[in-house]
Amino acid sequence: EAQVTQNPRYLITVTGKKLTVTCSQNMNHEYMSWYRQDPGLGLRQIYYSMNVEVTDKGDVPEGYKVSRKEKRNFPLILESPSPNQTSLYFCASSNSFYYYEQYFGPGTRLTVT
Amino acid sequence: AQSVTQLGSHVSVSEGALVLLRCNYSSSVPPYLFWYVQYPNQGLQLLLKYTSAATLVKGINGFEAEFKKSETSFHLTKPSAHMSDAAEYFCAVSDRSSASKIIFGSGTRLSIRP
């Protein structure tokens, strides 16, 4: 089954404790992206990757890091989480021709206290 | 810069009634336009897309949207609402020259009354 998986689905952590949210897709997609969803703000892009070893900032990259060492994986790293990073996070992927037809993961709800 | 505005954060209609969700965009050139749907506790999925052909676009589950350049609008409609249509709907815009950027609206939550 074609899918995007994220782990963990739910995470409660404390300020300053480094964490990683994993994202994996099995569709051989070149393009992958991370979004955060906040009430009243819709989805905002954090980082995206056009292919292996190619990443770029989205609209709200501050406080986040990403890497793309393999085509299927695109982890999101919070080196020192803060309460304003409490949000619902989505990973998405698509192929390079139809980049707008993005397949979304189920989401990771992060709470930073 | 591109932007998209969804009018109404919450829309409630009766089952069987017309669904109309409004979306206006701001772009210097005709963009690509999309509607995504998010069911409770799930990720988003593409409902329909406008990429330059017919201005009336049909999507899944009986939804359709019409691109109106003169009004810079891309409203989503469905003639007869079903209970299963209850979800959050996002309008999104993308620049034809950028292969990476999709701007999402703030979303409209659709509720269906029995």
Report helix, strand or coil for A85.
helix
pLDDT tens digits, residue range A77-102? 999 999 999 999 999 999 876 777 88
**Set of chain A residues whose Cβ sits within 8 Å of the Cβ of B32:** 100
- Given a contact cutoff of 8 angstroms between Cβ atoms, the answer to whether B95 and B111 are in contact is no
Query: In angstroms, what CA-CA distances link A51 with A42, A98, B103?
Result: 26, 14, 20
User: Do residues A41 and B3 lie in contact, with contact meaning Cβ atoms separated by under 8 Å?
Assistant: no
Q: Which of B102, B108, B109 to mutate to test the interface with A (most CBs of A within 10 A)?
A: B102
Which amino acid does the sequence have at A69?
A: K
**How far separated are the first and last CA of chain A, in Å rounded?**
36
Instruction: Answer yes or no: do B43 and A104 touch at CB < 8 A.
Output: yes
**Contact in structure between B48 and B63 (CB atoms under 8 Å):** yes
- Contact between chains at A90 and B41 (C-beta distance less than 8 A): no
Rounded to a whole number, what is the distance in Å from the CA of B46 to chain A's nearest CA? 6
Cβ distance B101 to A45 less than 8 Å, yes or no, reads yes
- Percent of chain A whose predicted confidence (pLDDT) is above 90: 84
Do B91 and B74 meet the contact criterion of CB atoms below 8 Å apart? yes
A54 CB near a chain B CB, below 8 Å? no
Q: Give yes or no for residue A50 having a pLDDT over 60.
A: yes
Q: Which residues of A touch B41 (CB under 8 A)?
A: 106-107
Task: Output the pLDDT for position B27.
Answer: 78
Distance from CA of B99 to the nearest CA of A (A): 7
> What's the pLDDT score for residue A80?
97
Comparing CA positions, the residue from B44, B31, B32, B99 lying closest to residue A48 is B99
Cα–Cα distance list, A95 to B35, B49, B76, B85 (Å): 18, 16, 26, 28
The pLDDT value recorded for residue B96 is 67
The nearest CA of chain A is from the CA of B54 a distance in Å of: 18
Provide residues of B within 8 Å CB-CB of chain A.
Answer: 9, 32, 34, 41-46, 49, 51, 90, 92, 94, 99-102, 104-107
- A102 interfaces chain B, CB cutoff of 8 Å: yes
Query: How far off is chain A from B95, nearest CA to CA, in Å?
Result: 10
Phi-psi region for residue B79, left (φ > 0), alpha (ψ -120 to 50) or beta?
Answer: alpha
Please check whether residue A75 is in contact with residue A23, taking contact to mean a CB–CB distance below 8 angstroms.
yes
- pLDDT one-digit tens code per residue, B8-23: 999 999 999 999 999 9
Percent of chain B with pLDDT over 70: 95
CA distances from A89 to B5, B14, B37, B100 (A): 22, 32, 16, 18
Chain B nearest-CA residue for A90: B43
